[in-house]
């Protein structure tokens, strides 16, 4: 299925500033970039850095102070997600068989203090069968118990806060999902992307859990179809994969994000309840 994605970010730059942007679609076997363009105004030589997480790409560039700056990205991306067999979803990879790449995602991180949530996670979800069942239950629980409300949280809000304050945005929902998974010894990582049907349009954040040897996708916001995401990056949490890291002094003045699919065959797929859920892997 082919998606057309677009983003434009504008900044007022006060002092010489290095930006690291994470706005490009990642490259992988299941996500092929058919065409893309990246434009800056004024023109500035940008460097592409390949992330250690498979396929993530960062754009780094330095902008002069006392200027206005715009970056515009556009791509056509072919997505071929996998539906995972139930059989695999019932299998949990034990810690002593995880590769080093996945082991990282068991440890607590800036916004996902899984070390503090072990009793709670074990009490609430410990008795659910299979790793897949646990993560699906976590996802439902977040959906049912946390209120989606923009403007109530900020860039320092963490899973620890969200668990208590019960309000947040997609980023907070993802952090809480990740923290609860890790507290149950299930590797989990942050996922940012473009999302079809997100209203108002914005970048989206979800998470992936490592189950049966695959990274399975979960979205506790249930705001968008699960088969309409274009992945930008993975990371331990938003500290690794924020849309823009700014070193210097600049403020955002405008942001536009789009994600469209013109293929008449595209049927948005919503997971309605945990019973019917099948796994999906990007």
Give the residues lining the site for its own copies (CB under 8 A). Answer: 18, 20, 47, 49-52, 58, 60-62, 94-96, 100-101, 103-104, 106-110, 112-113, 115-117, 119-120, 123, 145, 147, 155-156, 160, 163-167, 185, 239-240, 245, 247
The minimum distance between CB 18 and its own copies, in angstroms, equals: 4
3 state SS for 76-113: EEEECCEEECHHHHCCCCCHHHCCHHHHHHHCCECCEC
**Alpha carbon distances (Å) from 36 to 27, 182, 227, 254:** 12, 35, 21, 22
Nearer to its own copies, 60 or 76 (CB): 60
SS3 172: helix
Query: Hey, which residues does 191 pair with through a beta bridge?
Result: 206, 234
Nearer to its own copies, 66 or 96 (CB): 96
Nearer to its own copies, 117 or 229 (CB): 117
The minimum distance between CB 181 and its own copies, in angstroms, equals: 13
Nearer to its own copies, 7 or 158 (CB): 158
The minimum distance between CB 61 and its own copies, in angstroms, equals: 7
The minimum distance between CB 176 and its own copies, in angstroms, equals: 11
Q: Going by C-beta distance under 8 Å and a sequence separation of 6 or more, which residues neighbour residue 231?
A: 25, 26, 28, 31, 55, 191, 192, 193, 282
């Amino acid at each position: 299925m082919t998606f057309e994605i677009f983003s434009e970010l504008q900044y007022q730059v006060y002092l010489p500033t290095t930006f690291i942007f994470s706005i490009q679609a990642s490259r992988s076997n299941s996500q092929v970039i058919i065409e893309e363009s990246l434009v800056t105004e004024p023109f500035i030589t940008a460097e592409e850095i390949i992330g250690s997480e498979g396929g993530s790409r960062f754009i780094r560039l330095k902008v002069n102070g006392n200027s206005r700056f715009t970056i515009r990205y556009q791509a056509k991306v072919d997505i071929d997600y996998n539906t995972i067999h139930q059989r695999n979803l019932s299998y949990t990879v034990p810690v002593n068989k995880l590769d080093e790449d996945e082991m990282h995602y068991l440890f607590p991180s800036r916004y996902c203090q899984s070390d503090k949530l072990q009793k709670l996670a074990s009490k609430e979800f410990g008795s659910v069968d299979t790793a897949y069942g646990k993560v699906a239950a976590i996802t439902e629980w977040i959906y049912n118990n946390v209120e989606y409300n923009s403007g109530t949280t900020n860039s320092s809000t963490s899973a620890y806060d969200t668990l208590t304050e019960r309000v947040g945005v997609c980023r907070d929902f993802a952090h809480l999902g990740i923290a609860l998974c890790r507290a149950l010894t299930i590797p989990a990582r942050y996922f940012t992307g473009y999302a079809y049907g997100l209203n108002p349009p914005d970048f989206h954040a979800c998470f992936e859990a490592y189950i049966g040897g695959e990274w399975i996708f979960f979205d506790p916001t249930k705001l968008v179809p699960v088969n309409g995401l274009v992945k930008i990056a993975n990371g331990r949490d938003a500290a690794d994969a924020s849309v823009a890291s700014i070193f210097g002094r600049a403020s955002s003045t405008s942001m536009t994000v789009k994600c469209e699919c013109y293929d008449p065959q595209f049927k948005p797929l919503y997971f309605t309840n945990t019973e019917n859920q099948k796994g999906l892997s990007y």
